[in-house]
Chains A and B, each alone.
Chain A
Amino acid sequence: MQIAMSLASVGIAPSAVRRVETVQDDDSGLMQRVAAGEHRAYATLVDRHLRHAVTLAYRVLFDRAEAEEVAQEAFLRVWQHAGRWRPDGGASFRTWLNRVVVNLCIDRKRRPGMAALEEQPDPVDPEATPYEARLAGETSGHVAAALRKLPERQRAAIVLCYWEGESNIAAAQALGITVGALESLLVRAKRTLRDELSPVIGAKE
């Protein structure tokens, strides 16, 4: 009531606001407008999901520059494929975006040259960027190192289910696999993590 009154006081009918939000500004509506070539709708989608996309990519890749490249490429695909995206396909826009981001991360790791980089131990950089410094504080170095040893699909499964709070169904859709296959990926990932982190787990117990 209070909101309605305050909206009325600035000359906006609450019903009009609700209509605009539900008809045009949900992700499906925005995607339809993006498909029609509307740049403003694209900008709204970017503003709504860029933080999530770049964070997801970072948590899978552990590299900020690469995560930004993945996010940029993912939104280019949003623009290019908006016409083919169907809201009734069973997946939300966010799940679809997750899938694009995860696939781009996995493809990136498959590229020639990346493997050699992956083999190198990560130096302890005294001039670490503020973000890496923050990461070290929040996710212990042991956990980060153990996660890096996982194959990308297993890491993506852990990230989606444990860090992004996705349901098992949404995570499976983002990975393009069944829920059963997702559980299998998670179990394998957890076994590796438990082995890698056993000294830390033992110390905690």
Chain B
Amino acid sequence: MNLERFAMLVEAYGTDPGCWPAAERAAAQSLLAADTEAQRLLREAAALDSLLSSPPAAIEPSAALRARILAQIAPRPAAIPGWRGQLAEAIALLFPRGRAVPQFAALGLALVIGIGAGLADIGGPETTSIDLFALQVAAAAPVSLEE
């Protein structure tokens, strides 16, 4: 503990040794006992510290605040169900009881659109395969020549 560190402790934590870092308290107190400059630093800091020594009184929380704090917590959601439970939930979401018709209609429409799109695209892959075939022949040609 040197005087510089002592000055830093007093400046940061104040004049009460109880507020100094526990690891440095004993060394700082030894320096204070022996060094008049350290004692002067402490006296200088005392005026400001005394102004800070009376904090605003602690607040007694009102019963209304306590009630609000207790009321704001909701029951925790149930634990995540196993795969059977999750499947059942998914089915229930897709086909809620009494409201099956719109879901079936949507599913049917999606199927029709999907199949239609598939059928309409039949000509496409042939063109691509021809191009691909030509490319493969071209790529293979030099090898054939070397042989």
Q: Which residues of A contact B (CB under 8 A)?
A: 37, 39, 42-43, 46-47, 50-52, 54-55, 58-59, 62, 64, 67-68, 71-72, 75-76, 79, 131, 134-135, 138-140, 142-144, 158-159, 161-163, 165, 167-169, 179, 182-183, 186-187, 190, 193-194, 197, 200-201, 204-205
A135, B12: Cβ atoms under 8 Å? no
Name the one of B11, B57, B72, B76 contacting A190, with C-beta atoms under 8 angstroms. Answer: B11
Name the one of A79, A143, A168 contacting B21, with C-beta atoms under 8 angstroms. Answer: A168
B73, A42: Cβ atoms under 8 Å? yes
Which residues on the B side are within 8 Å of A200 (C-beta)? 51
Query: Which residues of B10-49 are within 8 A (CB) of A?
Result: 11-14, 19, 21-22, 47-48
A72 with B65, Cβ < 8 A, contacts A162-B52, A201-B47, A205-B47 known: yes
A184 CB → nearest B CB, Å: 8
Chain A CB count within 10 A is highest, among B14, B56, B58, B62, for B56
B47, A50: Cβ atoms under 8 Å? no
B66, A46: Cβ atoms under 8 Å? yes
B54, A201: Cβ atoms under 8 Å? no
5 tightest CB-CB pairs across the interface, nearest first? Answer: A163-B55, A37-B76, A186-B12, A183-B12, A55-B58
Cβ-closest chain B residue relative to A59 = B56
A143, B72: Cβ atoms under 8 Å? no
Name the one of A71, A138, A201 contacting B48, with C-beta atoms under 8 angstroms. Answer: A201
B56, A139: Cβ atoms under 8 Å? yes
A138, B61: Cβ atoms under 8 Å? no
B66, A162: Cβ atoms under 8 Å? no
A161 with B13, Cβ < 8 A, contacts A43-B70, A55-B59, A58-B59 known: yes
Name the one of B14, B60, B62, B70 contacting A162, with C-beta atoms under 8 angstroms. Answer: B14
